[in-house]
Amino acid sequence: MTMGSRNIFVQSEKANQNYLTKIVKIDNLRPHPNPEVTRLDITTVNGSDIIVGRGSVNVGDVVVYCPCESALNLEFLRENSQFREIEMNKVPDKKKCGFFENKGRVKAISLKGVISTGFIFPVEWLYVWQADLKNLNFEDYIDVSFDTVNGQLFSKKYIIHQQRKPVIGNGKKSVKRNKRLTRFDKLIKNQFSFHYDTGKLADRIFTIDPDDVISITTKYHGTSVIISYVLVNRELKWHEKLLKRLGVNINTQEYDYLYSSRGVIKNRYINKHVGAGFYSVDVWTSAGERLKGFLQKGMTVYAEIVGYLPSTDTYIQKNHDYKCKAGEFEIYVYRITQTNVDGDVYEFSARQIQNWCKSRDLKPVKELYYGKARDIYPGLSTEHHWHQNFVNKLSNDKERFFMEVNSPDCYNEVPHEGIVIRNDSTGYYALKLKTRKHFLMETAELDSGEADIETMEETEEEI
């Protein structure tokens, strides 16, 4: 076949960058650490540990990787007999069935102390599903990420069935959110912007060089808030409208505050149909009112709200108290921008955010490290596989970054969510590294049908 990857394995318009499927080559394989487990091996792909049957995968194999909490094409799973319920498979055979449930979801699982947060399968399964892929040389497609194969959707973010409508997708997702801002006539173009989608560190580790100055901060499990003091269009009085039509120069703009969740503006004078939110408590406006007095003209603060919903005993995220009392919440700032009247945006560095917050007795996200990337693990060779080894070290660093242990920031015993890395040398977007234990917790919550406030907020019809 001579078709390029753009014609076969593509990212659709609604693709979610954190849930893309990827063609990879296996470059590591190790036995399960429990000596009693003799039939399982472990490979690390894209920063995820994946448990495989011994002998089913070898170093050098080209395979297809699917991240945790993605949902795979049901016809693909049926053709390859990967459903647990044998009646759903093309060939109902108890000896040849898989472990997927009817939604095709990739789950985090724990087997004898090892947490697996992904799924890999041989490329042959693709042409069992689509026969015309059989002649492809899959070596040519290594590192290609996609959600669509030959025009058919293959993978997407898993959404629990109770949710009202699918999340608007992707790394292009934030672009779509910002496009929808044109619905509101009070907003001025390029003054207000939603937060970009934070990518996975393992996917973009090559944007960090050993000599880059990076910030590593705690990743908080709460809900995002945006508090902005930017130019908006004034609502003119009747006589001002008349004078304006007569050619009188009337000031039509003013600075005002906007409060927003990750994807929903909460100001009723802008978004007249907005509700209080998934929990019927507008925690975002409560946070905005607390911080608004600190903002200068043109400033936007992006932060995480953690603890409890105001005046209730309901956690913002299940059991994640973040040492708050019932009915109280804390705000941790992770990003600040300054926008001038022309719409030009200045981005605060990670260190500037820390200093701005502390000088005002506000809380920035907890800084766990600031300095050159190479200095965290000086023993790592920068000449041989530094990027991969760097991610592996970070992923298992319990002492400095609390990876794979309970959160030191909560009274309750809940897994630490992970860390966020920002490159202050290049100004590149923040990247996240989540713990395997947190993935396992999220899988259990999704299994129970519990909704997540962040995802549910993004299913609002109006922003």
Q: What pLDDT, in 10s, does the model give residues 75-115?
A: 999 999 999 998 999 888 777 888 899 999 999 999 988 99
* Residues 133 and 204 grouped into a single domain: no
- Give the end of a domain, one of 157, 187, 221: 157
Please tell me the distance from the alpha carbon of residue 250 to that of residue 237, in angstroms, as a whole number. 11
* Residues 215 and 144 grouped into a single domain: no
Cβ contact 123:140 at 8 Å: no
* Residues 131 and 206 grouped into a single domain: no
Q: By three-state DSSP, how is residue 36 classified?
A: coil
End-to-end alpha carbon distance in the chain: 45
Please tell me the distance from the alpha carbon of residue 285 to that of residue 292, in angstroms, as a whole number. 10
Task: Specify the residue for token string 């540990």.
Answer: 49
Residue type, 258: L
* Residues 127 and 205 grouped into a single domain: no
DSSP summary character for residue 315: B
Sequence-ordered alpha helix ranges (H) in 152-291: 173-179, 201-204, 238-245, 283-291
Q: What is the pLDDT of residues 345-376, one digit of tens each?
A: 999 999 999 999 999 999 999 999 999 999 99
Q: Which residues contact residue 71 at a Cβ distance below 8 angstroms, ignoring those fewer than 6 apart?
A: 103, 104, 105, 106, 155, 156, 157, 158, 159
Q: Which residues contact residue 230 at a Cβ distance below 8 angstroms, ignoring those fewer than 6 apart?
A: 188, 191, 192, 255, 256, 258, 297, 298, 299, 300, 339
DSSP summary character for residue 295: P
Q: What is the CATH number of the domain that holds 372?
A: 3.30.470.30
Task: Specify the residue for token string 């590294």.
Answer: 433
* Residues 179 and 142 grouped into a single domain: no
Average model confidence (pLDDT) across the chain: 87
Nearest Cα neighbor of 225 from 158, 276, 277, 301 is: 301
Q: By three-state DSSP, how is residue 95 classified?
A: helix
| Tokens coding 174 | 């934030």
Nearest Cα neighbor of 60 from 30, 32, 28 is: 28
Q: Which residues contact residue 458 at a Cβ distance below 8 angstroms, ignoring those fewer than 6 apart?
A: 167, 168, 262, 263, 264
Q: ∠ CA 337-331-309 to the nearest 5 degrees?
A: 130
* Residues 150 and 190 grouped into a single domain: no
Q: Which residues contact residue 430 at a Cβ distance below 8 angstroms, ignoring those fewer than 6 apart?
A: 198, 334, 335, 420, 421, 422
Say which residue, 427 or 131, is predicted with more confidence.
131
| Tokens coding 148 | 């669509």
* Residues 44 and 189 grouped into a single domain: no
| Tokens coding 266 | 């909460």
Above 80 in pLDDT, residue 169? no
Above 70 in pLDDT, residue 450? no
Please tell me the distance from the alpha carbon of residue 287 to that of residue 222, in angstroms, as a whole number. 13
Q: Does residue 78 lie within any of the structural domains?
A: yes
* Residues 240 and 289 grouped into a single domain: yes
- When divided into structural domains, the chain yields a total of 2
Q: What is the pLDDT of residue 39?
A: 93
Above 90 in pLDDT, residue 51? yes
Radius of gyration of the chain from Cα atoms? 24
CA-CA-CA-CA torsion sign (71, 73, 74, 79): negative
User: What percentage of the chain exceeds 70 in pLDDT?
Assistant: 87
What order of strands is seen across the sheet that includes strand 199-200?
199-200, 428-434, 418-423, 213-219, 367-372
Q: Does residue 162 lie within any of the structural domains?
A: no
Q: What is the pLDDT of residue 167?
A: 33
* Residues 423 and 312 grouped into a single domain: yes
Backbone φ and ψ of 445, nearest 5°: -70, -40
Q: What is the pLDDT of residue 224?
A: 95
Domain that holds residue 47: 5-157
* Residues 402 and 428 grouped into a single domain: yes
Between β-strands 199-200 and 428-434, what pairing exists: parallel, antiparallel or unpaired? parallel
Cβ contact 133:127 at 8 Å: yes
Above 50 in pLDDT, residue 395? yes
Q: What is the pLDDT of residues 61-72, one digit of tens each?
A: 999 999 999 999
Q: Does residue 166 lie within any of the structural domains?
A: no
- Give the end of a domain, one of 157, 191, 209: 157
* Residues 149 and 205 grouped into a single domain: no
Q: Place 6 in a pLDDT band, splitting at 50, 70 and 90.
A: very low
Q: What is the pLDDT of residues 205-257, one digit of tens each?
A: 999 999 999 999 999 999 999 999 999 988 877 877 787 787 878 777 899 99
Q: Place 38 in a pLDDT band, splitting at 50, 70 and 90.
A: very high
Nearest Cα neighbor of 341 from 232, 197, 218, 224 is: 232
Helix (H) or strand (E) holding 438: helix 436-447
Task: Specify the residue for token string 């669509």.
Answer: 148
Cβ contact 200:432 at 8 Å: yes
Please tell me the distance from the alpha carbon of residue 24 to that of residue 120, in angstroms, as a whole number. 9
Task: Specify the residue for token string 């907003």.
Answer: 187
pTM exceeds 0.85 for this model:
no
- Give the end of a domain, one of 157, 188, 219: 157
Please tell me the distance from the alpha carbon of residue 287 to that of residue 276, in angstroms, as a whole number. 13
Q: Does residue 165 lie within any of the structural domains?
A: no
Q: Which residues contact residue 324 at a Cβ distance below 8 angstroms, ignoring those fewer than 6 apart?
A: 306, 307, 308, 330
Cβ contact 89:81 at 8 Å: yes
* Residues 279 and 414 grouped into a single domain: yes
Q: What is the pLDDT of residues 14-31, one digit of tens each?
A: 899 899 999 999 999 999
Q: By three-state DSSP, how is residue 420 classified?
A: strand
Mean pLDDT, range 116-133, rounded to an integer: 95
